[in-house]
Structure 1
Amino acid sequence: MNTKMKPRIVVARSMPAAVAQRASEEFDALLAQDCVPDTEEVLNRLARHRAEGLMIGASVKLDSETIARMPAHVRIIATVSAGIDHIDIAAAQARGIVVTNAPEGPTECTADLCMMLLLCAARRATEYHALMQAGWRRRLGLGEMLGTKVSGKTLGIFGMGRIGREVAQRARGFGMKILYHNRTRLPSELEQGATYFADFREMLPHCGFLSLNAPGSPQTRHVINRETLALLPEGAVFVNTARGALVDEEALIESLRSGRLAAAGLDVFESEPDFDLRFRQLGNVFLTPHAASATTETRNRMGYCALDNLAAVLAGKAPVTPVTLP
């Protein structure tokens, strides 16, 4: 096919090689493999390339003002992420721009990393790693550097969607009892024996471990705060692979420093990549750089989903995984 006849798209995020190659083969694609364009540059590229489609990741923030400034020829915004809190959906729909996401792509690997964080936090992986990096050289007493047992404990899950259910499935392999809070109760076949709490706060006193797996929204902002942290049992372990905005980080740091929380495993932060460096100073915190979906298989799947949506919409067909307001 003649390149000029291919639909024009701007890819505003560095993509895995296989995704970038497919984008170049199927579209007249302006890639961003060697740079990270800011919002202004994204708008400039859309205009210069006369692009009909925009492919982004969660790091590209599209608020109402930015969307209002998009060229009229933009027909679709396809994000490779499952989350959509970086896009003003109402503003896009008001302009007739289709928004799509990749809801299933990161599910399994996010649940895998969630369990990794849970285990590493509970078993003091940050401190053990530091000890080994320093050369070890001294045997530990039987009462030194003891972690928290995971098997058989109770895990509370905030947000029992695709990822939350996958986390529950993995936790059952450790014999954990599953509690959960969700906007609505799941059918029994999806609960698989998990106990539902309509009130999030009522669940917290029963949680030796707590995992956040809900999307970011105005309703979930700072759902973890001084009040809710105080409801957890002393010595609980906290894990967040959802969104940093769900957590009041000042309150979390206080709880970790005081020892009221035994440990935390964090993959997401309120400010990324410029996260609060105080977390780095805490030995009872295990940190990863928003890497839950960072496997070859998952990142390719997420990219392919976005490309499938772009291809469908720009061919005049329905999007594969549309995002709409409730």
Structure 2
Amino acid sequence: MSESRPLLYVSRLLPEPVMATVRERYQLLTEPEEGPPSPAVLRQGLQEATAAIVTLSERIDAQSLSAASRLKVVANYAVGYNNIDLAAARHHSIVLTNTPDVLTDATADLTWALILATARRVVEGDALVRAGDWTGWSATQLLGAEVAGRTLGIIGMGRIGQAVAHRAVGFRMPVHYYNRGTRLTSPPGAQWAGVSLPDLLRDSDFVSVHVPLTEQTRHLIGASELAAMKQTAILINTARGPIVDEAALVDALERRTIAGAGLDVYEDEPRLHPGLSSLPHVVLLPHLGSATWYARVQMGMICLRNVDAVLAGRPAPNPVL
């Protein structure tokens, strides 16, 4: 009976509720593992399967897709899809889908965790206590930055950028945003203002990045942009690593051109630019933006709904192309 079910390739182990549904509906080509597949295993999986669920870590190029003669749909376990050659997928009539909406709140929450942790030096304080080096309260110990009432600059006001902006209301923060789309109306109690990127960088106390990674946004934040920021400003990136020039960021942090950074993504994950991990005024997270139980399970279920639809001859609910 299992042989009658479509062959599905899953590149990485997903949360158990998702895997249970996968095993119920499909024949797994191979048992996925926690770690990333080798390039050879990835190519073989795409070549033999009828459908595939892959993660952002898997780079799927034109050569891999040209050999995937049976493949009808690739469900990307992410909102972004810069890991997949879109032109090649289109050329081979392979449907590509993503997982919008369900990770918006999780990523926005984590953005705020980084804002607060970096501004208030939470990681440094935790390390001090754990090391047994805390000698008691001091009026000058680990002084950080105020958050409430300061200006939050958001680069990219899509779903996640707007969710971050909504959370700023509770901190009485005016929000300056740079967005290529239409200007947005401030919701009740909020102070939103669409501005140019140079004005946002000049005036913001916190700059948070929320644009997708494209050729136009690669190194959108480089040496000149960092130099344009306030010396007291903090940069937050929970979008994609290459949007920020990591070498320029390390240089700016070492020179104290800006006050700090909170990062969940990196230019060459999982590797860091030399010197980044030794800087005390940086909070570094291992790409946890969508890492809540609810979000990660729902992402998998969305992938399955898209696979189900395409293999049944219906339009995908969340097509990228």
TM-score range relative to shorter protein: over 0.9
Which string of whole-angstrom CA distances, capped at 9 and with x for unpartnered residues, describes residues 168-210 of structure 1? 111221111101001112342679541001x211221110000
Report if aligned partners of 1:124, 1:147 keep a CA contact under 8 Å in 2: yes
Letter aligned with residue 15 of structure 2: P
Equivalent positions of 1:3-22 (< 5 A) are: 3-22=2-21
Cα pair distance change 1:152/1:88, threshold 3 Å: same
Q: 2:75 aligns with which of 53, 74, 78?
A: 78
For structure 2, the 5+ residue unaligned runs are none
Q: What is the CA–CA distance in structure 2 between the aligned matches of 1:269 and 1:52, rounded to whole Å? A: 32
Contact kept in structure 2, 1:106 and 1:293, CA below 8 Å? yes
**Relative to 1, partners in 2 of residues 1:4 and 1:189: Cα closer, same or farther, differing over 3 Å?**
farther
Alpha-carbon contact 2:12-2:34 (below 8 Å) kept:
no
Task: Give secondary structure in 1 for the equivalent of 2:149.
Answer: coil
Amino acid at match of 2:133: W
Aligned equivalents of 1:215, 1:286: Cα separation in 2: 22
- The aligned counterpart of 2:49 is 51
User: How many pairs were matched up?
Assistant: 319
Q: Which residue among 230, 233, 241 is the counterpart of 1:233? A: 230
Deviation by residue 1:32-51 (Cα, 9 ceiling, x = unmatched): 1355312221222344xx31
**Aligned-partner residue type, residue 193 of structure 2:** T
Tell me how far 1:105 sits from its aligned partner. Answer: 2.2
The residue that corresponds to 1:27 in the other structure is 26
Change in CA separation of 1:34 and 1:267 when aligned onto 2, cut-off 3 Å:
closer
The reply on whether 1:64 has 2:62 as its aligned counterpart is yes
CA distance in 2, matches of 1:57, 1:121: 28
Are the structure 2 counterparts of residues 3 and 108 from structure 1 closer, same or farther at C-alpha, using a change threshold of 3 Å? same
What displacement does 1:69 show?
2.6
| 2-structure distance, mates of 1:293, 1:62 | 22
Query: Is structure 2 residue 199 aligned with structure 1 residue 202?
Result: yes
Give the distance between the partners of 1:12 and 1:201, measured in 2 at CA. 41
State how far apart, in whole Å, the 1-side matches of 2:71 and 2:254 are: 49
Contact 1:211 1:240 in 2 (8 A): yes
CA contact (8 A) 1:208 1:233 kept: yes
1:264 counterpart residue number:
261
CA distance 1:137–1:156, shift in 2 (3 Å) = closer
Q: Deviation per CA, 1:146-168, whole angstroms, max 9, x where unpaired?
A: 00010110000001000000001
Find the aligned partners of 2:46 and 2:16 in 1 and give their Cα distance: 22
Residue identity in the other structure for 2:185: S
1:167 aligns with 2:148: no
CA contact (8 A) 2:151 2:203 kept: yes
Closer/same/farther in 2, CA of residues 268 and 137 from structure 1, 3 Å limit:
closer
1:102-251 equivalences in 2 (<5 Å) = 102-188=99-185, 193-197=191-195, 199-251=196-248
Q: Which runs of 5+ in 1 are unaligned?
A: none
C-alpha distance in structure 1 between counterparts of 2:113 and 2:7, whole Å: 40
Matching residue of 1:39 = 39
> TM-score normalised to the size of structure 2?
0.95
Q: Distance in 2 between matches of 1:276 and 1:105?
A: 31
Structure 1 residue 277, shift from structure 2 partner: 5.0
Identity of aligned residues (%): 36
SS for the counterpart of 1:62 is coil
Give the conservation status (yes or no) of the 8 Å contact 2:184–2:194.
no
Whole-angstrom CA distance in 1 between matches of 2:254 and 2:61: 36
Per-residue CA deviations over 1:79-120 (Å, capped at 9, x if unaligned) read 110001101111101111000000112111000000000100
CA contact (8 A) 2:75 2:98 kept: yes
User: 4+ runs of 1 displaced by more than 3 Å?
Assistant: 189-193
2:257 and 2:143 map into 1 onto residues whose CA distance is: 16
Note if contact 1:185-1:196 (Cα within 8 Å) is conserved in structure 2: no
Mapped partners of 1:120, 1:34: distance in 2: 29
